[in-house]
Amino acid sequence: MAEAFAQRDRAFDGRFVVGVISTGVYCRPSCPARRPRPENCRFFSGANEAEREGFRPCKRCRPSEVARDEAAVAQALAMLRAEARPVPLGELAQACGYSPTHLQRVFTRATGLSPAAYGRALRQEAARARLSEAGEVTEAIYAAGFEGPSTFYAGMEGALGMTPSIWARGGEGVTISWTVAETSLGPMLVAATAKGVCRLSFNEGEDDLRARFPRAELAQGGADFARLVQQVVAAVEAPGTGPDIPLDVQGTAFQQRVWDQLRQIPAGETRSYGEIAAALGQPGAARAVGSANGANPVAVLVPCHRVVQAGGGLGGYAYGEAIKRELLQRERKD
């Protein structure tokens, strides 16, 4: 908290406030005022706690408005989740008692997405769920809140990794090439569609792949796949050397943002779950980051092994602590 306050980090606004003994006021972490001496700072979980201790809100950063902002974001989220349609920003703002510009700012700061992008993500997730069930694609499009097929295909471009009709049939008709390659870390399953690697895991085999893609056609692959496997093995033996390997991975909007953030961690460095959450603009989402990290379908290529506990502990890893430790040691030596 002291570091965030010293750096005027807006990502931590709403997580805590700072009481200043010498002035009797409390501030947001991002307050533009000159910083007091560290010994004059007291940290509180929120405005109510600070005011119970006798501090009054700063007139420059207005920290007491944080609670109102949180309530407005919660109301906007509830509206977006309840409506099976795009909700205009002006309509959301009017319901929350804010101007559209201010609601857009506080909503994006709290969630990492604009209200429009958040609404699209909700409709995409609804479409995935409905397309995974037996039924007509057109019916699923309208049921998910899209205005029609054209807006659906525009909004879902690149999000499914396969056409909606194939998704509706559980991957039927999609060919996935696969093999189990030997590495210094143990047997490694590599599977790829024509678009890119869709599964990379340790100590898994054909049964595990079929459970994940029950209706896809599994094949051993040809020369192109063999070259791809060579690239993947090389990236595992020397982690951090395969950033150009194509991927075909699926996830929610939040998972995709977490995975993108993981790929930005340089080899040889680590980040905590909280640091990833803060980088996404959602400092309170460390637990959700952990869940997205654990759902990563392509080990090493999306380097979830670079995420550790806040105290420096290794933390969990789907394929065992020994593999995670070895991957980190290899990167640090490089």
Domains, the chain, in order of start with CATH, read 2-63 (3.40.10.10), 175-237 (3.30.160.70), 253-333 (1.10.10.10)
pTM of structure: 0.55
Of 39, 40, 49, which is closest to residue 17 (Cα–Cα)?
49
Instruction: List alpha helices for 41-64, DSSP H.
Output: 47-52
Q: Measuring CA to CA, how many Å separate 75 from each of 65, 80, 91, 95, 281? A: 15, 9, 12, 8, 19
pLDDT number for residue 21: 95
Which amino acid belongs to residue 252?
T
Query: Contact 79/68 with Cβ under 8 angstroms?
Result: no
Q: How many CA atoms lie within 13 A of 318 on its CB side?
A: 19
For the chain, the average pLDDT equals 82
What pLDDT is attached to residue 251?
Answer: 72
pLDDT in tens, 19-50: 999 999 999 998 989 999 999 999 998 888 89
The tens digit of pLDDT for each residue in 261-285 reads 898 888 888 999 888 988 887 777 7
Residues in contact with 142: Cβ distance below 8 Å, sequence separation at least 6, in sequence order = 148
Give the residue-averaged pLDDT of 101-122. 80
Residue 241 has what pLDDT?
66
Tell whether the model's pLDDT for residue 201 goes beyond 90.
Answer: yes
**pLDDT of res. 240:** 64
> Which residues are part of the catalytic machinery?
27, 304
Provide the pLDDT for residue 157.
Answer: 46
Instruction: Give the Cα separation of 315 and 240 in Å (integer).
Output: 20
Q: How high is the pLDDT of residue 82?
A: 84
Residue pLDDT, tens place only, 212-253: 888 888 998 888 899 999 999 998 888 666 667 888 877 777
Q: Tell me, what's the pLDDT at 237?
A: 87
Cβ proximity of 161 and 128 under 8 Å: no
How far is Cα 180 from Cα 187, in angstroms, rounded to an integer? 6
Reported confidence tier of residue 158, pLDDT bands at 50, 70, 90: very low
